[in-house]
Structure 1
Amino acid sequence: MKSIIIGGGKVGYYLVQTLKKRGYYVVLIERNGAICQKIAEDIDIEIICGDGTDLEVLKDAGIQEAEIIAAVTGTDEENLVICEIAKVSFNINKTIARINNPKNIAMFKALGVDKTVCSTEVIANLIEYEFDKDNFKLIHTFERGAMILVEIIIHADDRWSNQFIQDMDLPAECVITSILRDEQVIYPRGDTRFLENDKVLVITNKAALAKLKKIR
């Protein structure tokens, strides 16, 4: 799984460092040569010295093989342009933009940027969740990533399938808010049974989510 981070400032530095420690393949694009040199001395990652809004620079970084683009420069306008280029020119489905001015959040979302966040840790978690292909879909984060809303799709071979909620050994830090079944919204109770193709909405945290994956 490959992600490209544009912007090697404080946020970008700690973001690539965090992703590297978690074992992800990450490429950094930064236009300042001195910053590139400093990061290269500290972190063993691929670094492209160039403008993240330049199509040729993005191609050099291997954007065609990337699954996620995170624009974390210090300029909201540049982050927006980068995300738009990634979507329109390279068909990248997942784009994450750092927002420096909260007033710009609505504009970014209206223009199709998938996620807008400020915290390095939250951005790192978003990338990790997007790389997760185990039918767990991150819907939203709360309290700077302390809580997360996740959609879980039930398949026929899951341990959850045809099980009652009351019989499931769910983590304490886990609240099932609703079940989407066809076009029906179900507000579950203990005697509610999970069925194939159900979309289960769960509020939890990162540690409890790991436990949920193990019991599927």
Structure 2
Amino acid sequence: MHVVIMGCGRVGASLANALERLNHQVAVIDKDQQAFRRLGSDFHGQQVVGNGFDRQVLAEAGIERAGAFAAVSSGDNSNIISARVARETFGVKHVVARIYDAKRAAVYERLGIPTVATVPWTTDRFLRMLLPEGVATAWREPSGSVAVLQLPVHEGWVGHTVRELEENANCRVAFIMRFGTGVLPEADTVVQADDVVYVAALSGTVTDVTVAAGQPPEEGH
């Protein structure tokens, strides 16, 4: 497959080399000729100097035969404009843009442009390495408003329903891993011993949700 990459920073260069090692044809676009030094002497793909949203530059990079396009420059605006041109003008099937501003990411997703929101993604990776297992988020939607996390549940919840847990912890149970198999629970599904519970919660409430689920249910629940 022919892949066009806009931006030859560390991410762009690493992506280009990785794709070439997988035997894909790669063209890299950057405004700075010196940026191509990051590709190394073993890179045999195309190097195109220019703006990644310029149609002539994209054409020179082979966008018309490209199966994929990645916009990974340091500018959100440049990334989204070039991604839209690749998708809407040239009909590239697989397009993705790196976005630093997480609030913008949701807007671009609605335009049909998959995004990688760099700051939230990196933050979550650090949290998974720094915090005890089960506390950090496993997934976060592009705007950063909703998180999915593995929820440490107090053993006192065994025998209680998913509805009770949701109401008490102010969250939604997304799925349960039970004996190594994923289960989509109903409201009356009963929590069993050794269940691994994943919930969806608003990002600002993750700590409160975790604290609530880590305590035994109140009497009468």
Q: TM-score range by the shorter chain?
A: 0.5 to 0.7
Which residue matches 2:191? none
Could you tell me how far apart the structure 2 residues matched to 1:72 and 1:55 are? 17
Which residue matches 2:46? 46
**2:8 maps to amino acid:** G
Could you tell me how far apart the structure 1 residues matched to 2:20 and 2:70 are? 15
- TM-superposed CA distance for 1:40, in Å, is 5.6
**Could you tell me whether the CA contact under 8 Å between 1:68 and 1:95 is conserved in 2?**
yes
**Could you tell me whether the CA contact under 8 Å between 1:28 and 1:46 is conserved in 2?**
yes
The alignment covers a number of residue pairs equal to 131
RMSD (Å) for aligned C-alpha atoms: 2.9
Which residue matches 1:76? 76
Equivalent residue of 1:116, what SS?
Answer: strand
Larger C-alpha radius of gyration, 1 or 2? 2
Q: Say whether 1:107 aligns with 2:116.
A: no
Could you tell me how far apart the structure 2 residues matched to 1:177 and 1:111 are? 32
TM-score by length of 2: 0.52
The alignment-based identity, stated in percent, is 28
Could you tell me how far apart the structure 1 residues matched to 2:183 and 2:41 are? 47
Could you tell me how far apart the structure 1 residues matched to 2:25 and 2:57 are? 18
**Map 1:17-166 → 2, pairs under 5 A:** 17-39=17-39, 41-118=41-118
Could you tell me how far apart the structure 1 residues matched to 2:86 and 2:4 are? 10
Could you tell me how far apart the structure 2 residues matched to 1:57 and 1:43 are? 20
Could you tell me how far apart the structure 2 residues matched to 1:117 and 1:24 are? 25
**Could you tell me whether the CA contact under 8 Å between 1:29 and 1:50 is conserved in 2?**
yes
Give CA-to-partner distance per residue, 1:92-141, whole Å, 9 cap, x none: 1221001112222111112220343539xxxxxxxxxxxxxxxxxxxxxx
Which residue matches 1:153? none
Give CA-to-partner distance per residue, 1:123-164, whole Å, 9 cap, x none: xxxxxxxxxxxxxxxxxxx669xxxxxxxxxxxxxxxxxxxx
Equivalent residue of 1:41, what SS?
Answer: coil
Which residue matches 1:15? 15
**1:114 maps to amino acid:** P
| Structure 1 residue ranges without an equivalent (≥5) | 120-141, 145-173, 179-216
| Structure 2 residue ranges without an equivalent (≥5) | 120-137, 141-179, 185-221
- TM-superposed CA distance for 1:36, in Å, is 2.4
**1:6 maps to amino acid:** M
Equivalent residue of 2:41, what SS?
Answer: helix
Give CA-to-partner distance per residue, 1:12-66, whole Å, 9 cap, x none: 0111111122222211111101112553635222111111110000001110100
- Runs (4+) of structure 1 moved beyond 4 Å? 174-178
**Could you tell me whether the CA contact under 8 Å between 1:108 and 1:116 is conserved in 2?**
no
Could you tell me how far apart the structure 2 residues matched to 1:175 and 1:27 are? 42
**2:29 maps to amino acid:** I
Could you tell me how far apart the structure 2 residues matched to 1:81 and 1:70 are? 12
